Chains A and B, each alone.
Chain A
């Protein structure tokens, strides 16, 4: 714990970088993953190929993925963000599909029968009801990305992995611990925060949409 107390500014700076990396990556993954998940529920034959590809990507070791990508995306943020986003896709796509599949068919039938358009059904019924499941996917993706992002330090983008790699090089356990503890705390915080958000949002989003 010594390092944490002696260099709070440095730890804070690296934590900020870490959060930024993860946030940007997961945001990209959501931007792509949720629409792709919705698309799968409309065009079912896409499910096998897309989930399969995302699954294979997920099994590639992170260090190897960084190494593979460096020739194309360079030593830097782009590589890390693309890699983390790719890892996050699987959980987000899969949970989006599962969430929409879990919407009660009777509610959807009633929505159609009452004259909601396809878009209204998606935004008022399907996505709000699927939201807790989608957010569960985002949580899984975020928690995993916070861990994987520590490896990103090898590409030279900072983050809490910096402390761990520096600690390994200088045999400074204090630094390794500081990096590990803060990154674990981050993961817990993200997990808890996203869970809270899920319960809070869904009705308000749906009602706001209904009046448009």
Chain B
């Protein structure tokens, strides 16, 4: 018996019911320009301020530290480049983790193309940035502008020692929290951070930049004349409010959701290792995001694996080169030094059930066996 399952929540969580309800109501009333002085504008402004307060409270920051952006990626770019702009007179060096999301990598490339420099912080086999190797001597630099380290890895789930890293370096830290926000308590020690609403059940097209009070942040882009000087473009009021509603719902339910998901992923880690020969289950087994896990199957074509799982009703992501638009293997898996082919990332939706997980785990060994049988080993 098969229970099909969408197992790619880390790419995008389905819209949370609380977000849907709020979005529909807000679309009706949140259309006006929140900067104007008339009634409909005041409504929109109230909704935006309400969204900001809820997000701030859920993420443990002050409302004036939250700026809604048109995406998580845009928030990442603002967070990294705005800190670098604030540090321009001190140092042009960005040090980023080797397993950062591609949005951080691209922001670094953009910085380097404009005269800055970027160094990569190595990670261990489980994907942790090694905090003890962060002195300027061991990094081989004379100065450090900004350090960029994610809260937790989006492909393998490993939680990074952000607070420890922030303590170890004499530079402000940008934290990409897109994979982690709403899933775990965010660490402390960062100056700017970025989150993405569709990762926690909000609608796509809403991110937030967080800038701590006292952080020296300068807008790296042309800027705009909106309510919040850090963002640009007409505010997506309904999207922001729906995102806040989803975040509030998942934050309130986290004490129930996180342990349940953590245990389901533990089950996946254990049973995959026990039932699939020649498999490597990667990432930190304990200090990790509750809802995702990555493993690689030796001698298996990643595209064939994803395609066959899809045919059986399971939607999963893969870091294998053959499944990527770039035809490059995942830079995360490569930096960790783990197998990149035959790779599958399973990530659970908030309402994922034990039946779905069991069904997937029952079928996976057959799928792998069938693909391996096609090659003569």
Decide whether A and B assemble into one complex: no
